[in-house]
Chains A and B, each alone.
Chain A
Amino acid sequence: MSTTYMLRDWTKLRETHPQPSPAGGHAEYKWAMAINLDVCTGCNACSVACYAENNLPVVGKEKYAHGQSMHWMRIERYWNEEDVETPHQGAQFLPMMCQQCEAAPCETVCPVGATNHTPDGLNSQVYNRCVGSRYCSANCPYKVRYFNWYDYPEQEMAWPDPLPMQLNPDLTVRSKGVMEKCTFCVQRLTAAKNTARNEGRTVKDGEVTTACAQACPTQAITFGNMVDPYSQVSEKWRHQQVELHKDVQDKDKSGDSGLRGYRVFEELRSYPSVMYLERVRDTKA
């Protein structure tokens, strides 16, 4: 019925995104995150939790050496430029996963439309639609998309019996030649949404969370729905004065506000859904 859709909803179909509203113009859900880098210790619990939840294959040393690892959630460790000699201020850890951009560079370039912006404000990756052109990853500024270079269920490393019994039936094991990435544990979100719909309501704050957020020992990761103004994540974003639909935040224009909220590569205008809170260091120490 496309033609009718086209003619009827022409104006709607011509709208750009995100729209200037806290939830970027999403009606029911806008899943987002806030990650406090001051308490993120870089312990990798989130990463392992992600392996457990999302059926990520273990690729083994040889493939890892070729940069073909499959961790959707990776912990990056950087050193201070100034004291690389002896890192007096410790290391800098950054949990990096798909930023679920509101205007994702990966989406426009996919030839088959396997990756889209969902009504819930996620960057969906439809595994079966993917033909493996890898254009999305080529265009991803964060390089958080992971390609199935091999047929991992066939690889000796990944799932020898009885390890397959651990696999989560709520999502597929991706086959060879498919692009995959962090989904904000969409299988959990869908389940929660279904329950909520049965009860004729929307998902409550804290009712559902991602595997990484749930595992994080220091609770550095906050996950929630930005449409709900009272959800933890909305409050964090609001208090940090980070606005979803802006590529330059007002607080940054007006000099040092001392607020810690920022988004990685904001200037690329991809409008990520993950806000990081700056790591703090005591200069007196």
Chain B
Amino acid sequence: MSNINRRDFLKVLGWSSVAVAVAGCGKTSVESGVETVMSYSQPEDFLVPSIGVYYASTCTQCEANCGVTGRVREGRILKLEGNPESAINLGRLCGLGQAAVQHHYNPDRLKEPLLRQGGGLQPTTWENATALLAEKTGDLKGEQFAFLSGGLSGHLKVLVQNYVDSLGSKNLYFYEALTPAVNQSVSQKLYGTATPRFHLDKAQLIVSFGADFLDTWVSPVHFASQYTQFRKATIDKKRGTLVQIEPRMTLTGANADRWIPIIPGTEGVLALGLVNALLKGGIGVKSLPASVVSAVRAYDKERVNKEAGVSGEVFDKLVALLSERSPSLVLSGLSAEGHAHGAQNAAAIMLLNVVLGNVGKTIDAPTRLPFPQLAAEEGNSVALKRFNDSLAGDKFKVVFIYNANPVYTAPAFMKLRDNLKKSEFKVVFTHYLDETAQEADLVLPLDSALEDWGTHVAAYQPDSIELTMQQPLMEKLYPSGTRSLGDVMLDQLKHRRANEYKDFADYYAYLKSALTRNKGAFSGVSADDETFWNQALMHGVLKVKGQEQSISANVVNLDIAQPAPIGDDQYPFHLVPTVRSGFRDGRHANLPWLQETPDSLTTMVWDSWVEIHPKTAERMGIKEGDILEIASKNGSIKTQAYLFPGVQPDSVAIPLGQGHEAMGRYAKDVGVNPFKLLDPVFDKSTGELAMHATRVKVSRTGASVRVVKEEGWSPIVVNTQQGRKLVSTIAVDKANFSKEV
């Protein structure tokens, strides 16, 4: 299969000639001469009807960039599987990845460019659109232009970067609402790398402060496969123990041997408490400078108990575990870093790794990527703040927005919708008419991820660095309606830097030559360009020859000081905005499969809800399904109550991703959007928006509904096994793993 030209292949696969059988088994009688037989005019000889062929590509559903293979049959992409050749997901694929086909076939995809004319968005042609782009950016001063993009890597990033440069602009913002930016900056300080490699499989004990690595954190599918090894007991390794510390139980917390609820923002206190206790126990004393050692003295069991609400007994158990089990791994996640003192929290937590001597054992440095320009820009929320401030200052005439929906994700206090109005020409590259697109002057529909070309370099590289290929898995659904951003950028660049880009017919040609030119940089490839290229597409993965680095911890001038806890009588509750693996920051809320898939812990579907601890609910007289009003200083939302034991009693949790005002039939008017509630609190050191620092008050509206959930409908509120042996649990010391394979 390596010797066929992929693009011709796509041409001959006119799926339009394929009759899709939606007919069910109702049809019992058949008669001749009614249905038409599918036949081709000029098929490739490898193409056999009724036999599926698999093509490798890259999953773009989240920043992990797992490798996928798509099953193509009769010219239609039917299903995605994990690509076994990718070291990231090893042939596995999460639900979010599976659902990518529904982005491709989504009934609400934009089928043609839209231009704002007389208030409304009217259909227009790509010719007009591109002409308009050139015109509007023609004699534009660099500082008047801004490009807001979601996380980006590979050659598309290069093109975008070059385009922005070609406009003489510095304003290229990479915005993502849910990246561990604070952690990264801290680990940059501490380990000298923003994205160290974690070896969960090597660890005997994992203590995670809100890092939901099984579901939503960094590279879930990879961590999941490591988790399997971590849990496995072998001759030379005991079954690993997982402790999760967080205000609201994440999926990782649900799988922990010990789940410890903690008051939001006090993770650092607990961490330092542990450091202190360990030092007292004579562990890692010489790993720390005296300054730090003295600094942590103040954090004893009592203080931890008082501030973090973690009982002494639990604390002792934890200390015992940490001192016994080695190597261990301590992780800091979103709920820990999402505070004004997020950096200090993260620092305090990572300090544990230093004390326990995990650095270099379960944590080491990633390979260095020879092409920094291809490296992933994960994005952060500082970008949004800067972007928004400049908009407010009326600095931008022309704004491009790609792969981001700031109007939806920006907190209410930013007033981004209004600020956006100030810029006179807003171009949104998107697949759907989402909230941001509705504000745009020009909406340019893009090819779906399964129709587009591209290269990706995942930010988190578990192994030697991989450059993963993205290739079309089927012919465009709307050949004349949608385009690849790559083509658009290239097209624009041709106007500005003709001499550089004139040789490239299109994005495909650009990619091909860009890769083939540097094929030396990849390990294990043949000399001949065509073969190399086809091999690359066939495997979907290119191993980059990068140089290994060593890791070392540097704790001097690491800011770990924890602020004193501040109460708030008017807004007694902490708001925990939880990330749902399906929806992330809401960009996937229009995928029916994900809406229909119950939330793993609450089993709720097709809606939003506020999680409140049964005790608290009892105190306030709240019953399941009561409509509550959750009010912060910056707004309020109304949604149904779900009594959830997995939430810290002083906190309420609301899942992110729902509450769209647009974005198609499956997302529109489903649930509420907690982004809007967030308080203007920013991490002091990085300026990141502190997602977990919002205080709210909760009140009953009197209304009540029957919640729509998957778990059984019985008067028993908390769903247990009712004495049946469905999920049986065994204590690790009772279990006999010796025979297991």
A and B touch in the complex (CB under 8 A): yes
Q: Is the CB of A67 within 8 A of B713?
A: yes
Q: Is the CB of A58 within 8 A of B595?
A: yes
Least Cβ–Cβ distance between B346 and chain A, in angstroms: 23
Interface residues of A in 236-270 (CB under 8 A from B): 236, 239-240, 256-260, 262, 264-265
Least Cβ–Cβ distance between B166 and chain A, in angstroms: 37
Q: Collect the chain A residues with CB atoms within 8 Å of residue B55's CB.
A: none
Task: Using CB atoms, name the residue of chain A closest to B594.
Answer: A48
Q: Is the CB of B645 within 8 A of A79?
A: yes
Given the known interface contacts A81-B720, A127-B25, the answer about A58 and B593 at a Cβ–Cβ threshold of 8 Å is yes
Task: Using CB atoms, name the residue of chain A closest to B260.
Answer: A88
Interface residues of A in 73-94 (CB under 8 A from B): 74-81, 84-94
Least Cβ–Cβ distance between B373 and chain A, in angstroms: 31
Q: Is the CB of B711 within 8 A of A77?
A: yes
Q: Is the CB of A215 within 8 A of B718?
A: no
Q: Is the CB of A77 within 8 A of B601?
A: yes
Q: Indicate whether B95 reaches chain A with its CB closer than 8 angstroms.
A: yes
Q: Collect the chain B residues with CB atoms within 8 Å of residue A45's CB.
A: 92-95, 98
Complex: A159 Cα to B21 Cα, angstroms: 12
Least Cβ–Cβ distance between B221 and chain A, in angstroms: 5
Task: Using CB atoms, name the residue of chain B closest to A81.
Answer: B720
Q: Indicate whether B259 reaches chain A with its CB closer than 8 angstroms.
A: yes
Task: Using CB atoms, name the residue of chain B closest to A232.
Answer: B741
Complex: A81 Cα to B728 Cα, angstroms: 12
Complex: A66 Cα to B532 Cα, angstroms: 55
> What sequence of 0s and 1s flags, for each residue 647-669 of chain B, a beta carbon within 8 Å of any chain A beta carbon?
00000000000000000010000
Task: Using CB atoms, name the residue of chain A closest to B731.
Answer: A283
Given the known interface contacts A39-B231, A279-B730, the answer about A91 and B20 at a Cβ–Cβ threshold of 8 Å is no
Interface residues of B in 240-264 (CB under 8 A from A): 241-244, 249, 251-261
Give the interface segment out of A9-17, A21-29, A103-111, A172-180. A172-180
Q: Is the CB of B321 within 8 A of A175?
A: no
Give the interface segment out of B77-85, B149-157, B455-463. B77-85
Q: Collect the chain A residues with CB atoms within 8 Å of residue B241's CB.
A: 282, 284-285
Q: Indicate whether A218 reaches chain B with its CB closer than 8 angstroms.
A: yes
Q: Is the CB of A60 within 8 A of B606?
A: yes
Given the known interface contacts A219-B228, A256-B734, the answer about A93 and B81 at a Cβ–Cβ threshold of 8 Å is no
Least Cβ–Cβ distance between B250 and chain A, in angstroms: 10
Interface residues on B, range: 35 or more
User: Which of B25, B79, B91 has the most A CB atoms < 10 Å from its CB?
Assistant: B25
Interface residues of A in 129-180 (CB under 8 A from B): 151, 153, 157, 159-169, 172-176, 178
Interface residues of B in 459-512 (CB under 8 A from A): 477
* B contact face: mostly helix, strand, loop, or mixed: loop
Q: Collect the chain B residues with CB atoms within 8 Å of residue A59's CB.
A: 596
Q: Collect the chain A residues with CB atoms within 8 Å of residue B477's CB.
A: 162
Q: Is the CB of A218 within 8 A of B726?
A: no
Task: Using CB atoms, name the residue of chain A closest to B232.
Answer: A39
Interface residues of B in 314-341 (CB under 8 A from A): 317, 320-321
Q: Collect the chain B residues with CB atoms within 8 Å of residue A228's CB.
A: none
* A contact face: mostly helix, strand, loop, or mixed: loop
Q: Indicate whether B411 reaches chain A with its CB closer than 8 angstroms.
A: no
Complex: A262 Cα to B730 Cα, angstroms: 12
Q: Is the CB of A43 within 8 A of B215?
A: yes
Complex: A201 Cα to B27 Cα, angstroms: 35
Q: Indicate whether A32 reaches chain B with its CB closer than 8 angstroms.
A: no
Complex: A2 Cα to B312 Cα, angstroms: 76
Interface residues of B in 292-329 (CB under 8 A from A): 317, 320-321
Q: Is the CB of A48 within 8 A of B729?
A: no
Q: Is the CB of B228 within 8 A of A79?
A: no
Given the known interface contacts A42-B251, A239-B741, A284-B320, the answer about A61 and B606 at a Cβ–Cβ threshold of 8 Å is yes
User: In the complex, which of the residues B215, B597, B708 contacts A61, with contact meaning CB atoms closer than 8 Å?
Assistant: B708
Least Cβ–Cβ distance between A145 and chain B, in angstroms: 16
Q: Collect the chain B residues with CB atoms within 8 Å of residue A77's CB.
A: 254, 600-601, 603, 711, 719
Q: Indicate whether B700 reaches chain A with its CB closer than 8 angstroms.
A: no
User: Which of A127, A235, A278, A285 has the most B CB atoms < 10 Å from its CB?
Assistant: A285
Q: Collect the chain A residues with CB atoms within 8 Å of residue B80's CB.
A: 52
Can you give 9 contacting A-B residue pairs, CB < 8 Å? A38-B231, A43-B95, A48-B96, A49-B93, A69-B605, A74-B598, A91-B646, A211-B79, A218-B228
Q: A45-B95, A128-B25 are in contact. List 18 more A-B contacts (CB 8 A).
A: A43-B600, A75-B600, A80-B729, A84-B718, A85-B614, A89-B257, A91-B601, A92-B721, A92-B729, A175-B26, A236-B740, A278-B730, A280-B729, A282-B258, A284-B317, A284-B320, A285-B242, A285-B321
Tell me the B residues contacting A by CB distance below 8 Å.
Answer: 15, 20-26, 28, 50, 73-74, 76-82, 89, 91-96, 98-99, 101-102, 105-107, 214-215, 220-221, 224-225, 227-228, 231-232, 239, 241-244, 249, 251-261, 317, 320-321, 477, 581-582, 592-598, 600-601, 603, 605-607, 614-615, 645-646, 665, 670, 706, 708, 710-711, 713, 718-721, 723-736, 739-741
Q: Which 3 A-B pairs have the closest CB atoms?
A: A258-B736, A175-B24, A217-B224
